[in-house]
Amino acid sequence: MYISQIDCFYIKIEIIYICHMITLIQMEYAVAVDTYRHFATAAEKCFVTQPTLSMQLKKMEDELDIVLFDRTRQPVIPTEAGAKIIEQARIILQEAQKIQLITNDLKAQISGELRIGIIPTVAPYLLPLFAGEYKKSYPNVQMKVEELITERIEEKLEKDLLDVGIVVTPLHNQGFVEEPLYYEEMMIYSNPNHPLASKPVIQIQDMDSPEIWLLSDGHCFRNQVINLCALHDLSSDKLPFEFEGGSLDTLIKIIDKEGGFTLIPELAGIEMLEKKEDQIRHFSNALPLREVSLIYTRRFAKTRLLKLLAESIRNAVPEHTLSKDRGMVVEWR
């Protein structure tokens, strides 16, 4: 559909008029209620009393002549019209943030809050490599980190509760921009007495074994192992017990005590090379890689902080992991 310059002019005038009717504060309160689905929680997160928040939302509804929320439901949900208004409000609030960011850039100031979500199979091995140096380099940046599975990171990014995620990609989610950071090898970790520890050549098909330990459902590394190794029957009477957890360190300790094997990411293996080199093996017929990336929404405003974060991480990881061409990226979705 063609929109003339005159039409664009009147559309802009209409937007300006609407934004004069309602305030950024009112939009912030509406977004908070949509995010937390509870008026009291939204008020607490916005550092105001519930009556204040409710009064401002009522003013906003009166100005727009639209009911934003169905207050008869618990948890509270937006009306059909309210959902569309709130979606636009999120965009406007992020655009408003850019004013301060532009000002900081003009003053050459690197400051602000950066809320990061990171998955459990990356966090313990990557964070110690870069987080401390990043904070020393940019002391005016308030970095807040949450360890979450990928699905929760996606949910929080969509609701603007996080700025950026550090996850394994590709996600095949058109709602996010993916910026690859590094590519780490998927390696074999076994009990020292397991046959794999002394096997001269290890093929991917050797992994289809009832003695393999896996992380619980919901972890992308579990899915990568299943996809890479073409595992079919995931139940096994060869293991001493069933394990449901998201910690690779726990799996490694179980294997040391109980036997069996698993796959680990390269950064985890680097930590153990000196003491457990004989328990870590590489595949002979392939070099499987997992792609670790930053993800963020297309309306992301803190582009300078993002660039500095990416640079810090790339400078902290081994140089050879920056190359995608050395192996094959294993999908997990």
> In terms of residues, how long is the chain?
333
Q: Please report the pLDDT score of residue 73 as a whole number.
A: 84
Return all residues near 316 (Cβ < 8 A) that are at least 6 apart. 126, 129, 130, 133
113-333: which CATH topology?
Answer: D-Maltodextrin-Binding Protein; domain 2 (3.40.190)
Q: Please report the pLDDT score of residue 109 as a whole number.
A: 64
CA–CA separation, 329 and 168 (whole Å): 10
pLDDT per residue as tens digits for the range 161-203: 899 999 999 999 998 999 999 999 999 999 999 999 999 899 9
CA–CA separation, 73 and 96 (whole Å): 31
Instruction: Note the CATH number of domain 5-104.
Output: 1.10.10.10
Q: Are 129 and 84 in contact (CB under 8 A)?
A: no
Domain edges within the chain: 5-104, 113-333
The model's pTM: 0.74
Q: Are 203 and 309 in contact (CB under 8 A)?
A: no
CB-count exposure of residue 235 (10 Å: 0-12, 13-18, 19+): exposed
Contacts 24+ apart (CB under 8 A), 93-96: 93/24, 93/27, 93/28, 93/31, 93/160, 94/160, 94/299, 94/300, 94/301, 95/299, 95/301, 96/24
State the pairing for strand pair 328-329/288-297.
Answer: parallel
**Residues in the chain with pLDDT < 50?**
1-3, 9-18
Q: Are 322 and 220 in contact (CB under 8 A)?
A: no
Please indicate whether the domains covering 5-104 and 113-333 agree at the CATH topology level.
Answer: no
Q: Please report the pLDDT score of residue 16 as a whole number.
A: 47
Q: Please report the pLDDT score of residue 208 as a whole number.
A: 87
